[in-house]
Each structure stands twice: as C-alpha cells, then as structure tokens.
Amino acid sequence: RYTVHVASNAPDGSADFTLAVTADGGYSTDLSFNSIVGNPKNVFVWDGDGYNLSGTFIRDYLDNLGYNVTYSTGNLPTDYSGYDAIFLCFGVYSNNHNVSTTEATNITNYLDNGGNAYLEGGDILGYDNGKDILIPYCGVSSADDGSGSNDMGLPLSGQTGSVADGMVFNAYTGGNNWIDRYTVGSGIPVFTNGGDIFAVQYTYTIDTTKEYKTVTFAFELGGLTDSKSSSTKDNLLQNIIDFFGLGGTSGVINKVNNLRQSSLKLINKVNSFNLEFSLQSNKDVDVLLMDISGRVVKAIKASCGAGNNNVKIDTRNLKRGVYFVNVKYTGFNAVKKVEIIR
C-alpha cells in the first residue's frame, strides 16, 4: 500500500500520478493512476419519491469516488450555497414530489450563482407547479406532459455530443407513467427513443467569470439496465460528473488509501485465481485483471447472486509477476494485488 501526500497549496481537482517501481534483477516499470487532490467537491443528493432509486445509486457512486456527499430524503434546502453540484430526484407519478414555485426558485437562485444541477422527474418540466420557473434553466423551449402508463418507449439512444453519446439502453425498470417530452431550445438532447426527447443538458454563460450547467432527465437514471460495455449507469453518471467539471477520478487505483478489500478473498491456485466475495443482493459484477502498467489482460462480467460467490480467473497464458484484480459493481470498487509465480 502506498500513501500519497499532496502539497497544501495544490489546486483542487484531480491529478495524474506515476509510481516508478523497481525491483532486484533490474526490473522496473511505471504504474499510473488519477485521483482527487485538494479538497473533494461538496455534492448534495436528494431523493423525493419514497423509492430512493436514483438518489442512492448517485450517492454511493460519488461517495465511493471520494466526494463529500450530503444525502437527504427530507425537506429540500432553501439554500444550496456551498455545493459544487446538486442531484435532485423528484420521482415519477404516482411516486413523485411536485416541485413548488418556491423550490424551483431556490434551485434557480443556486444556478444563477454558477451552480451545477442534475434534475430528475417525470413531471418537473411538463406538469409541476414550478415548471415555468425551471424550463428556461434547462435548455428546453417547452415540455409536454406524458400520456399515461408504460409511457416511454425503448430503446433509449444517447445523442451525439451529449453525456450519453454512443450509449443505448434497451431495458428500464424505473417509473414509467406520464413521462414528460421535451422540445429542445438552446440545450443538447441527451436521450431519445427515436421520436420523443426525454433528457437534455444545458450550459449557460452568466458572465465572464461563471456559468451554470444543468442535466434534466424525465425518467429515473437508477432504473436503466446496463447494456453493452459502454452503456452503463456508471459510465453515464461519470459523464455527468465530468460535464459538471467536478474533477476526474478514473485510473487503475482510485482512492489509494481507502480501497475496500476486507470483503474480497483471493485464493492462488495452479493456473488460476479464485476470487471469493459475498453480496447482499443480486449484482452484475465486473472483474478486471490488470498488469503492473494498468493494462487489462482479463475481463470477466459475472451475474452474481446474494450470498457467497466464486469467480475463477484463468492465468495459464499469463507471465509471472505482479497483477491487480479490480472488482466493481454498483456502489463498490476495490483493488487487490496478486502475484503469479511459475
């Protein structure tokens, strides 16, 4: 385990690090990674639908990456000052919160001071009381209320130049009643089902020193089902984080001093590793085996059930040396060092 110290005057954001590794016999290599430095960004996440589908997903993802996350299911704040971004999930009818004019005004006051807001809800721009206040801040010219149950057709296709560029989601398990349709104004469409637009992103320059950014979804991000390798909720949320300029966190090892390894057990066998771990619920688990340079040499996607699980990693065609096993699923990202000895 390595401890990285950063100077107190380092600017907030992220930085690239390189570990120069040397060993007996003339062996040397570099291990590169990227991590947050300075003061982690302050983020507010709110769930208002009672199901806490998207908010808990967003909270866990941000927390795992080292952001200072305030999570709430209570009353919305009247003042969002001090937050670098807010993620407000209002839900979908009939499990939703109607945005009041006062709540909408509090959000736009925050944006007018250079904030970043992710706004999610099936009625927030097409029906709720505060819709006329929010619409100009979301890059849409108008929004139409949906038309009943099972309202949003699939697949959802990410649009060019958006945070969902190249993504396609073929399944969705979130709320699907009376989903708003957006007519895009100055914003960029994010998702369409081939006809209607259900998500928009928008950047507005306030003056020469600041701007605000919004991403608005009429459906629940947490209800999307991961599709092909690039079309995942994790990737989509990371793109939103990057759009807001909250700082990068990708790399071989994130949060170097806080890798959650206690729940992982690696058993080194002849020509393989057995990875043992326990889950509280069914999860799609990604297992990556990386060499010392960070290059992925094995990639396994496993559908794992609640309880104890075992994933076998075949190492027959790999050279001896140090490797890293990266285990990822929603809300969890851990790395464990292993060694192949012939």
Per-residue model confidence as pLDDT tens for the chain (342 residues): 566 766 666 655 556 577 777 776 666 676 656 555 656 689 999 999 888 999 999 998 898 777 899 999 999 999 999 999 999 999 999 999 999 999 999 999 999 999 999 999 999 999 999 999 999 999 999 999 998 888 899 999 999 999 999 999 999 999 999 999 999 999 999 999 999 999 999 999 999 999 999 999 999 999 999 987 689 998 899 899 999 998 644 333 333 323 333 356 778 777 888 888 888 788 888 888 888 767 788 889 999 888 888 899 988 888 877 788 888 887 677 777 777 765
In contact, 340 and 323? CB cutoff 8 Å: yes
Which pLDDT does position 254 carry in this prediction?
38
Instruction: Output the pLDDT for position 2.
Output: 62
Show Cβ contacts of residue 270 under 8 Å, excluding neighbours closer than 6 positions: none
Ranges of each domain in the chain: 42-243, 260-340
Q: Is 243 helix (H, G, I), strand (E, B) or coil?
A: helix
Give the contacts of 203 (CB within 8 A, at least 6 positions apart).
211, 212, 213
pLDDT (0 to 100) of residue 33: 60
Asked whether the beta carbons of 142 and 157 are under 8 A apart, the reply is: no
Q: Which amino acid is at 261?
A: Q
Q: CA distances (Å), 150 to each of 48, 119, 174, 177, 206, in order?
A: 21, 21, 10, 6, 39
The first and second tokens of residue 322, run together, are 């140090």
DSSP per-residue string spanning 173-206? -S--SS--EEEESSSEEEEESSS-EEEEEEEEE-
Q: What is the pLDDT of residue 171?
A: 96
Domain spanning 260-340, CATH class:
mainly beta
What is the fold of 42-243? Rossmann fold (3.40.50)
Tell me the angle at which helices 233-243 and 53-64 cross, rounded to the nearest 10 degrees: 70
Per-residue confidence (pLDDT) for residue 332, from 0 to 100: 73
As given in the structure block, the two tokens for residue 184 are 């895009």
C-alpha 244/C-alpha 235 separation (Å) is 14
pLDDT of residue 134: 99
DSSP assigned state of 76 = P
Residue located via tokens 């007018």: 112
137: three-class secondary structure by DSSP:
helix
